[in-house]
Chains A and B, each alone.
Chain A
Amino acid sequence: MKFTKLAISNPVDLIYGNAPHPITTRHGMVIGGGTVYPELNFTLPDIDIRKESMPAIARHYKQIVTDALERAAELDVPAVMLEFETLPPMTEFPDLGMEVVDILLHGIEHARDKYGLRATLRCTPNDNREFVRPPVMRGGRYLDAMLELFDRSAAAGTEFLSIESVGGKEVHDDALVNGDLRAVMFALCVLGVRDMRFLWEHIVAIASKHGAYAAGDTACGFGNTAMVLAERKMIPRLFASVVRAITAVRSLVAYECGAVGPGKDCGYENPILKAITGCPMSMEGKTAACAHLSPMGNLAAATADLWSNESVQNIKLLGGMAPTCYMEQLVYDCRLMNCASGEGKESALTLRNWLVKSDAGHDPQALIISPESSVRIAESIVRSKSHYHAGIAAARTAITILREATEGGCLPSDPRETSWLQRMEDELDEMPDTEDEFIDEMLEEVDRTKFNPDEYFFGQPHA
């Protein structure tokens, strides 16, 4: 493990707006340097994405960037991040994606000239490698197109590069619906870790070539899938919460490869990563209700350096187009946090603790990413000798935290749920001592029609 000690070891210091390693953008926006800024994310309403529909698509993005930045300026925001999370054809055909990147960069520049607003862009191409089944991870046109979009986008002026990578997901999806913790561990800590190393070497290289920042990844397709399934009562919440703790091991690899943050908004494992790396993190919560339900709308803000709405369609609301309205909401959320920290650490902590306390007793997923739990889980990760062992350690710590909370009355205790704590612990007890043994066992168990081990470098030096 590259990180062997925590950047933030005292939960009191794990707080919004402040990261031990802040980042300064080209135009002087400091992320993690004391102020929380909005990060606006947006998407299209239902529209076919083809070359022919690009004029209509371009109009949407022009409208989004113009109106949303105008609203930000009207509300006296000194700086904002925009995130362009592409839609799959925009990565598959980088010319389409670049058309939007150019529109957004132009809008950002215009807002800087007109209002003095220091806005910047994060570009998050899609990881389309799983369009081929089983996924082809190490080459092929999907990987090439994705790297091309990263490269051209950074060359054009995008400052932050992110991705929601999918390595290991072909195994993880089934693992989740089957409640299979061993397969979760294999997907995240064996397959995911290997793929992240491969991918992030490329992204970091592209970023440094263009003077951009390799920002961070997210275990969205893993942890958030589990969270959504749990919220829909499809899998136990306690199981999904343990999965969340394990996802931190996978997402950490981006930082081990040189990512510097801000971590991607939908990575609810980010507080754990902030404690380990000291890098600033983007988070989303109550103001992302437009995108999905999350059981930690307030708590997620407790450690945020950027505060995001995750995604909203460009549709008309009474207050304006939806992205503009969401910009406004994010601005007010950030104002409150910045006002509290402006009054000093004690006020900042009071607000942070309210954010935590108002959610932590309602849902195990929230409890798991509270500052206290995050530091405990982070500690168990950095003390481990490999990612495999870190996954087991994170899961065990999460189970201990959840047991303490359910038995201590801090979380509701439903026997249908709590029986899973023992079930998961039993599975962890059965895990072999070494990763090699584990891989041998899992290669026998996993459905080979869905996954190709050769794509993960088994038996090769890179592994």
Chain B
Amino acid sequence: MNTLEDLKTAVINGKRKEVKAIMPDLLDSGFEPSAVLEQALIPAMSVVGERFKRNEIFVPEMLVAARAMKEAMAQLEPRLVAAGIKPQYTAVIGTVEGDLHDIGKNLVATMWKGTGFEVIDLGVNVSADAFLAAIDQHKPHLVGLSALLTTTMPAMKDTVAAIRNAGHTDLKILVGGAPITDSYAAEIGADGYSRDAASAVDAARKALAA
């Protein structure tokens, strides 16, 4: 019989087929869906995230693990929904208007998914209005804004202002991207900043806990 540890190991090693086979076995043998998530999948991705942070693995290896986790989630989600369990946090993320850079933002989204957040990725060139519409629709706990161009930093500032002006004063906003700094984040009224994808999880959790 498979154990949560087997699932965790399979996810860490990015063994999608193995994960696919282990999941029904685990779920049918009475493991709580929440335990599968909290004791196997999230810890697996946190190991992967740590390895990546320590430069022990490259992004392709991390993404293989993320895909293995996705495989597990596809089987787990109906059970979580049936049990009335929702992800602890929902996040909306996007690259601000006028900016098409998305590799960094995608990595942040992957890391957030790996930590169990539900992530709605709005893509690139996202207007303040599109962020507001997504906030109304998904009621997120966290909004992530990415900007890579100095010339789209004003769009980031405007988006934060639009979110605040729409009355979402408590909604946590995390920002990042090569030209963004801690002090710029504070200046435009964001709740947090992270310099890379690996620390975006800690930064998000810190902002959410505040």
Chain A interfacial positions (CB closer than 8 Å to B): 43-49, 87-89, 130-131, 133, 173, 176-180, 225, 229, 233-236, 313, 416
Contact = CB atoms under 8 A, between A and B. Distances in A.
B60 A46 contact: no
Contact of B179 (A46, A47, A130, A416): A46
A130 B124 CA distance: 10
A234 B150 contact: no
Interface string B105-120: 0110000000000000
B100 A179 contact: no
A47 B59 CA distance: 33
Given A177-B59, A235-B58, 10 more contacts: A44-B151, A46-B150, A46-B154, A46-B179, A89-B98, A178-B63, A179-B58, A233-B55, A235-B59, A235-B60
B9 interface: no
Contacts of B154: 46-48
A129 B57 CA distance: 34
Contacts of A180: 60
B151 A48 contact: yes
Nearest to B179: A46
Nearest to A177: B59
Contacts of A43: 150-151
Interface string B144-170: 000001110111000000000000000
30 contacts: A43-B151, A44-B150, A44-B151, A45-B150, A46-B150, A46-B151, A47-B150, A48-B151, A48-B154, A87-B151, A88-B98, A88-B100, A88-B151, A130-B100, A131-B100, A131-B125, A133-B124, A173-B102, A173-B103, A177-B103, A177-B106, A178-B60, A179-B58, A179-B59, A180-B60, A229-B103, A233-B55, A233-B58, A234-B107, A235-B60
A236 to B, nearest CB: 6
Contacts, number: 58
B87 interface: no
Contacts of B149: 87
Nearest to A126: B100
A46 B100 contact: no
Contacts of B155: 48
A229 B151 contact: no
A149 to B, nearest CB: 17
B150 A133 contact: no
B78 interface: no
Contact of B63 (A44, A89, A177, A233): A177
Contacts of A130: 100
A235 to B, nearest CB: 5
Contacts of A131: 100, 125
B123 interface: yes
A135 B99 CA distance: 15
Nearest to B149: A87
A88 B99 CA distance: 9
A49 B102 CA distance: 21
Interface in B3-32: none
B59 A234 contact: yes
A46 B107 contact: no
A279 to B, nearest CB: 29
Contact of A229 (B59, B98, B100, B102): B59
Contact of B60 (A48, A89, A179): A179
Nearest to B99: A88
Interface centre among B103, B107, B155 (most CB of A within 10 A): B103
Contacts of B56: 416
Nearest to B64: A178
Contacts of A229: 59, 103
A180 B107 CA distance: 17
B62 to A, nearest CB: 9
B49 to A, nearest CB: 13
A176 B106 CA distance: 13
B131 to A, nearest CB: 17
A234 B151 contact: no
Interface in B148-200: 149-151, 153-155, 179
A233 B106 CA distance: 16
Contacts of B107: 177, 234
Contacts of A48: 151, 154-155
Contact of B123 (A45, A133, A176): A133
- Sorted from nearest, which 3 A-B pairs have the closest CB atoms? A179-B60, A48-B154, A46-B150
Residue of A45, A229, A234 most packed against chain B (CB within 10 A): A234
Contacts of B179: 46
Contacts of B125: 131
Contacts of A416: 56, 58
A179 B14 CA distance: 14
A195 B187 CA distance: 42
B51 to A, nearest CB: 11
Contacts of B106: 177
A13 to B, nearest CB: 38
B96 to A, nearest CB: 12
B8 to A, nearest CB: 22
Contacts of A89: 98
Contacts of A176: 103
A45 B179 CA distance: 11
Nearest to B123: A133
A192 B112 CA distance: 32
Nearest to B57: A416
**Which of the listed residues A48, A49, A173, A178 has the most CB atoms from chain B within 10 Å of its own CB?**
A48
A178 B110 CA distance: 13
A195 B156 CA distance: 32
A126 to B, nearest CB: 9
